[in-house]
């Protein structure tokens, strides 16, 4: 890892966007925290900063702990909201003193559309493509908003997130050009 980040510095890279793996930090999605997982991300963040590279951290990039899918259906249940907020709390308290830019969800449309309509991503559920993607999207947005509330109410004063980039969601934007003869 150190060698890779040193190469990034030599290339002049000023920021590095990476994702924290929820199962690596909290294998069952709740309860016990994996200290080795936290140590890995602490080393990564510290190495970035030592090399003047700003860490841009994504909390969720399509890697829901399987235990949460098995227990209550993942993003089909409102239980996912508090599970995600508790996971985010672990990340904020562990890394927030050094991370100034957070991304809650990478490409929510993939999580919802490909997870619950096309089946191209986990959990691969194609049983109700006219309903389940919307339930997932609703719960995902509620999790995002509650996580932002947690940050503002608990961490904002001491951690000083960069509100220019701040806490966001990564979206895929497509420009459509219409050709008319």
Q: What is the pLDDT of residues 61-109, one digit of tens each?
A: 999 999 999 999 999 999 999 999 999 999 999 999 999 989 999 988 8
Query: d(Cα 13, Cα 47) in Å, to the nearest integer?
Result: 13
For residue 149, pLDDT over 90 is answered with yes
Question: For residues 20-48, b (16+ Cβ closer than 10 Å) or e, as one string?
Answer: bbbbbbbbebeeeeeeebbebbeebbebb
Q: How many Cβ atoms sit within 10 Å of the Cβ of residue 85? A: 19
Please tell me the predicted confidence (pLDDT) of residue 138. Answer: 96
**C-beta of residue 88 within 8 angstroms of C-beta of residue 33:** no
**What are the residues whose beta carbons fall under 8 Å from the beta carbon of 150, sequence distance 6 or more?**
85, 88, 89, 92
Query: d(Cα 19, Cα 114) in Å, to the nearest integer?
Result: 19
Residue where the block lists tokens 């990476």: 18
Burial of 141 from C-beta contacts in 10 A (0-12 / 13-18 / 19+)? middle
* pLDDT classification of 156: cutoffs 50, 70, 90: confident
For residue 171, pLDDT over 90 is answered with no
* pLDDT classification of 38: cutoffs 50, 70, 90: very high
Half-sphere exposure in the Cβ direction for 122 (13 Å, CA): 11
Determine if the pTM surpasses 0.75.
yes
Percent of the chain clearing pLDDT 70 (strictly above):
88
Mean pLDDT, the chain, whole residue set? 91
Q: Which of 9-23, 112-126, 156-170 has the lowest mean pLDDT?
A: 156-170
**What are the residues whose beta carbons fall under 8 Å from the beta carbon of 164, sequence distance 6 or more?**
none
**What are the residues whose beta carbons fall under 8 Å from the beta carbon of 90, sequence distance 6 or more?**
25, 26, 33, 38
**C-beta of residue 61 within 8 angstroms of C-beta of residue 102:** no
Query: d(Cα 67, Cα 72) in Å, to the nearest integer?
Result: 9
Please tell me the predicted confidence (pLDDT) of residue 162. Answer: 64
């Amino acid at each position: 890892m150190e060698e890779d980040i040193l190469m990034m510095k030599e290339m002049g890279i000023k920021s590095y966007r990476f994702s924290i793996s929820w199962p690596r930090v909290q294998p069952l999605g709740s309860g016990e925290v994996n200290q080795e997982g936290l140590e890995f991300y602490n080393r990564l963040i510290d190495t970035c900063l030592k090399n003047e590279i700003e860490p841009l951290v994504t909390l969720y990039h399509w890697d829901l702990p399987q235990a949460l899918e098995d227990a209550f259906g993942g993003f089909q249940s409102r239980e996912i909201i508090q599970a995600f907020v508790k996971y985010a709390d672990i990340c904020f308290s562990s890394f927030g003193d050094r991370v100034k830019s957070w991304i809650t969800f990478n490409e929510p449309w993939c999580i919802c559309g490909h997870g619950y309509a096309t089946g191209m991503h986990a959990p691969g559920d194609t049983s109700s493509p006219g309903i389940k993607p919307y339930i997932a999207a609703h719960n995902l947005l509620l999790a995002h908003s509650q996580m932002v509330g947690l940050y503002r109410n608990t961490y904002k004063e001491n951690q000083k997130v960069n509100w220019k980039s701040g806490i966001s969601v990564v979206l895929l934007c497509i420009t459509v050009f219409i050709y008319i003869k």
